[in-house]
Amino acid sequence: MNILRIQNISKTYSDREKALVGFSLNIQRGTVLSIVGESGSGKSTLLRIVAGLEVQDHGTVHFGDLKIQNPEEKLVPGYDEIQLVHQEYRLYPNSTVEENISRPLLQYEKSYRKSRVEYLLDLLTLKTHRKKLPKQLSGGQQQKVAIGRALSLEPEVLLLDEPFSSLDTIQRRELISELKELLEDLKITVLFVTHDLDDALQMSDELCILQKGKIIQMGKAEEIFRKPKSIYAAKLFSHLNKIPNESHAYIRPSDIELFRTKGIKAKITDRQYLIHYNQLTVLLSSGESWKVEDKKRAFEIGQHIFLKYDPSNLIYF
């Protein structure tokens, strides 16, 4: 069952910058979808329109059978059932953790408000921080408070607008892992937008790649990796090496094997130490410069090396 139906949404700002162009997407209940795109591709605009916080030029958004009204159509913009979590946390600096989480519940009965806040403090492992102010928390803890506040109203849809981009690598990895498990248990529908493919892949297997306000590919991550429909989609995953004398064929660094004899001869011109391998820059006799992965860290700058690849791994455009 589709919980969200986004139909033919277009949005152009006053400077004629097109944020979204005929964007359509159906989201099934319980789906966790990562929407990936560079800055300015329309990701944040999309979330604001879905939440009923932005006026679109054309198109409609339906939450189940309910048409989402924009700020020109609704006196108080937004919907309790659809909550947007921002990158900047937007916490009240002079309110404690529990006060920030309970703020959306001020109109509810005191007993329900108390039990809901206790549940969320426990769910997000924030009980020991309940009396702290935001400035006394780490970035990851502050984002958890922001997520707790969004979850306080028991939304059916959670919209995450690059919520991890200001965190360091360790905080980001730990929070994504914790949040993914939590959201799966709650069975909440999630749209997570990011410019970071690693974050997207950690959050979900389902990807939607956005470029200049349009969907250019959507599906399982592995499917997009193996059969990208554009160079942009392919390059999100890794560098591409152009095959000499073939105008539209490429090979990924990870699909190239390295040998000391026999194969395509190349000279190593640069070496970069990365977490799982040394990334080598090699010069082919054709003049092409390739990136390859030395997983055994066995080669040095200046050495000659021989390369092989399986033609079935070639990517064509």
- Residue 239 to residue 279: CA distance in whole angstroms: 11
| pLDDT attached to residue 87 | 84
- Residue 315 to residue 317: CA distance in whole angstroms: 7
What's the whole-number mean pLDDT along residues 240-245? 94
Longest CA pairwise span in the chain (Å): 76
One DSSP character per residue, 246-268 reads: -TTEEE-GGGEEEESSSSEEEEE
Q: What is the dihedral sign for C-alpha 266, 272, 278, 279?
A: negative
Per-residue pLDDT at 16 exceeds 80: no
- Residue 146 to residue 269: CA distance in whole angstroms: 47
Task: Evaluate if pTM is beyond 0.85.
Answer: yes
- Residue ranges of domains in the chain: 2-231, 252-316
> How does the average pLDDT of the chain come out, rounded?
94
One DSSP character per residue, 227-249 reads: S-SSHHHHHHHS--EEPTT-TTE
Confidence class of residue 190 from pLDDT cuts 50, 70 and 90?
Answer: very high
Burial class (CB within 10 angstroms; exposed 0-12, middle 13-18, buried 19+) of 193: buried
What's the whole-number mean pLDDT along residues 149-170? 92
Of the candidates 237, 172, 196, the one whose C-alpha atom is nearest the C-alpha of residue 41 is: 196
Per-residue tokens: 175? 């929070």
pLDDT digits (tens, 9 = 90+) for 191-226: 999 999 999 999 999 999 999 999 999 999 999 999
211's CB contacts (< 8 A; 6+ apart) are 37, 38, 41, 230, 232
| pLDDT attached to residue 166 | 83
SS3 at position 284: strand
Pick the CATH number of 252-316 from 1.10.10.10, 1.10.3720.10, 2.40.50.140, 2.60.40.150: 2.40.50.140
What's the whole-number mean pLDDT along residues 47-61? 97
CA atoms in the 13 A half-sphere facing the CB of 158: 29
Per-residue pLDDT at 14 exceeds 80: no
Domain 2-231 homologous superfamily, CATH: P-loop containing nucleotide triphosphate hydrolases (3.40.50.300)
